[in-house]
């Protein structure tokens, strides 16, 4: 009878240990997590407010673009861009802080879950040991040791409870291991997101510096005088008109002789309004549309319409292709500065011009809508930092025998990018 009592006490002690164990694990660490969660919520509210402010400045800049071209307008636009860029940097700062908090939170969860798993393994080991000792007793032996039916029934119930607790612990252990694996995957994703945000912030600061430089250069060139600015603008337009008049002759000669370096014709043309392409920037504003624009009517393109669109995001902004494809050609000429052409499905070709520096990507290099193929600039015949985008159904390149530079066709073969963006 003493043995039965000892065994009962032993089982009761294990049950008590298990109850304490479960209670210990049920104690929330929520007060620490609540503090982190609140900080994350506060940062997200700040991001939302800063995003609204950036959108307001974007609208202000867009409205300024519609006004007559004056020095004050250009300075106001550059100031608006600078403020907008600073807001974007502030947003990225908050996003970085939020991501760091989320990483710390995940690392804490991983640590706690790992500790829990270790303790559960110990508890499972103890229960398995006790179960093993119990299982060594046959049913007959238990009946002999417990002649009273009530004692036998109590021990049988406790044995069943022991099994149930063991199964429960094993189930919880499986769930926690799965949760641990999910947390580790989330942690890896957040660390990658942090790297991306840090790179984005470096680029944003470069763009901000570029815009400040553009503003300072404009003020130096004009000495802050409207007359000087209008003179500068007139000289640029005359230079551009001369370039396009010559370009028309060069292009006609290339078509006549067929002296093409590259020549691509689209297999088919998508229906207008088919949005098969993406914008190359997340934040941008339009500086000139496609076709017979007011600027084109002033003779800037030798009497021809504007064969693409002009958009701006800020000097030094990373340029992404409007669609996946491969680098078809790239070069520099006096009109379009540094430019690169991308070949897409259907043999459509997109061109990106006035880039700050050469693309640096070799022909046939595969690109996606997340690739950076260059940076916004003002090379060639340009009145300020922007990106010229053309889309072609018929595209060719040729060498200008006068200066040896690589040119692409301007006057024929283009489509309106706005029909497909």
**Least reliable range by pLDDT among 175-179, 278-282, 337-341, 360-364:** 175-179
All structural domains of the chain: 2-219 (1.20.1270), 250-419 (2.70.70.10)
- Tracing tokens 């963006």 back to the chain, one arrives at 421
Average pLDDT over residues 225-250: 73
Greatest Cα-to-Cα distance within the chain, rounded to the nearest angstrom? 115
pLDDT category at 329 given cuts 50, 70, 90 is very high
Is it the case that residue 234 has pLDDT exceeding 80? no
* Amino acid 131: pLDDT: 62
Q: Is the pLDDT of residue 396 over 60?
A: yes
d(CA 406, CA 42): 53
**Phi and psi at residue 225, in whole multiples of 5°?**
-110, 135
In this structure, what token pair is assigned to residue 231? Answer: 């003179």
Confidence of residue 99 (pLDDT cuts 50, 70, 90): confident
Give residue 159's pLDDT.
59
Instruction: Look at residue 253 and tell me whether its pLDDT is greater than 50.
Output: yes
> What sign has the CA pseudo-torsion 368, 374, 377, 382?
negative
pLDDT reported for residue 263: 94
Distances (CA, A) of 84 to 79, 209, 246, 308, 419: 8, 13, 39, 26, 28
As a whole number, mean pLDDT of residues 134-155 equals 51
- Backbone φ and ψ for 292, nearest 5 degrees, come out as -85, 70
The Cα–Cα gap between 92 and 191 comes to 15
Q: Given pLDDT bands bounded at 50, 70 and 90, which one contains residue 265?
A: very high
Q: How sure is the predictor about 320, in pLDDT bands with cuts at 50, 70 and 90?
A: very high
- Residue 122 banded pLDDT, cuts 50, 70, 90: confident
Length of the chain: 421
| 205 or 389, which is more confident | 389
- Buried/exposed code over 72-92 (b: 16+ C-beta within 10 A; e: otherwise): eebbbbbbbbbbbbbbbbbbb
Q: How far apart are CA 204 and CA 106, in angstroms?
A: 28
Residue whose tokens read 């430019």? 339
Residue 291 pLDDT greater than 80, yes or no? yes
* 294 band by pLDDT with thresholds 50, 70 and 90: confident
Q: Are 302 and 245 in contact (CB under 8 A)?
A: yes
In the numeric block, the tokens 């009946």 are attached to 143
- Asked whether residue 318 carries a pLDDT value surpassing 80, the answer given is yes
Dihedral sign for Cα atoms in the order 302, 307, 313, 314: negative
Q: For residue 408, is pLDDT > 90? A: yes
Per-residue pLDDT reduced to its tens digit, 44-81: 777 777 666 666 655 655 665 555 566 777 777 777 77
The rounded mean pLDDT for the chain is: 76
Q: Rounded to whole angstroms, what are the CA distances from 150 to 144, 147, 157, 290, 296?
A: 13, 9, 10, 94, 102
Place of tokens 């159904």: 393
Q: Is the predicted pLDDT of residue 1 greater than 70, yes or no? A: no
Contact 95, 197 (CB under 8 A): yes
pLDDT mean over 80-91: 80
Reported as a single tens digit per residue, the pLDDT across 2-46 is: 344 444 334 444 443 444 344 344 444 444 556 777 777 776 777
**Mean pLDDT across the stretch 406-419?**
91
Task: Tell me which of 112-116, 264-268, 354-358 is least confident.
Answer: 112-116
- Contact yes or no for 346/270 (Cβ under 8 A): yes
Confidence (pLDDT) at 79: 77
Q: What is the pLDDT of residue 89?
A: 82
Contacts of 309 (CB under 8 A, 6+ apart): 286, 288, 289, 290, 388, 389, 416, 417, 418
pTM score of the predicted model: 0.58
């Amino acid at each position: 009878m003493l043995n039965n009592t000892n065994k009962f006490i032993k089982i009761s002690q294990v049950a008590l240990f298990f109850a304490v164990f479960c209670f210990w694990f049920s104690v929330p660490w929520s007060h620490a997590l609540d503090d982190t969660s609140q900080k994350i919520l506060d940062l997200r509210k700040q991001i939302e407010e800063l995003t609204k402010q950036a959108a307001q400045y974007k609208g202000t800049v867009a409205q300024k673009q519609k006004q007559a071209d004056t020095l004050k307008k250009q300075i106001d636009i550059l100031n608006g861009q600078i403020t907008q860029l600073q807001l974007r940097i502030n947003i990225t700062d908050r996003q970085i802080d939020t991501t760091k908090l989320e990483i710390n939170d995940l690392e804490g969860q991983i640590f706690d879950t790992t500790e829990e798993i270790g303790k559960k393994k110990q508890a499972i080991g103890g229960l398995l040991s006790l179960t093993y000792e119990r299982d060594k007793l046959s049913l007959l032996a238990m009946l002999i040791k417990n002649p009273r039916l009530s004692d036998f029934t109590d021990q049988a119930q406790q044995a069943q409870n022991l099994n149930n607790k063991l199964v429960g612990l094993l189930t919880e252990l499986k769930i926690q291991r799965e949760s641990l694996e999910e947390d580790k995957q989330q942690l890896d994703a957040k660390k990658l997101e942090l790297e991306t945000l840090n790179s984005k912030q470096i680029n944003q600061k470069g763009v901000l510096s570029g815009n400040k430089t553009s503003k300072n250069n404009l003020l130096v060139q004009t000495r802050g005088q409207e007359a000087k600015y209008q003179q500068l603008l007139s000289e640029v337009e005359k230079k551009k008109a001369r370039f396009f008049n010559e370009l028309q002759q060069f292009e006609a000669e290339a078509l006549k002789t067929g002296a093409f370096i590259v020549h691509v014709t689209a297999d088919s043309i998508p229906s207008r309004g088919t949005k098969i392409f993406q914008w190359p920037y997340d934040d941008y504003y339009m500086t000139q549309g496609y076709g017979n624009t007011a600027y084109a009517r002033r003779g800037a393109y030798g009497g021809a319409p504007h064969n693409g669109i002009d958009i701006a995001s800020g000097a030094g902004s990373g340029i992404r292709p409007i669609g996946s494809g491969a680098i078809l050609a790239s070069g520099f000429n006096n009109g379009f500065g540094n430019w690169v052409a991308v070949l897409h499905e259907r043999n459509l070709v997109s061109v990106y011009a006035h880039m700050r520096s050469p693309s640096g990507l070799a022909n046939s290099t595969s690109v996606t809508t997340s690739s950076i193929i260059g940076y916004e600039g003002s090379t060639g015949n340009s009145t300020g930092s922007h990106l010229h985008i053309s889309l072609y159904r018929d595209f060719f390149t040729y060498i200008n025998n006068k200066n040896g530079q690589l040119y692409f066709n301007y006057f024929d073969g283009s489509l309106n990018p706005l029909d497909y963006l």
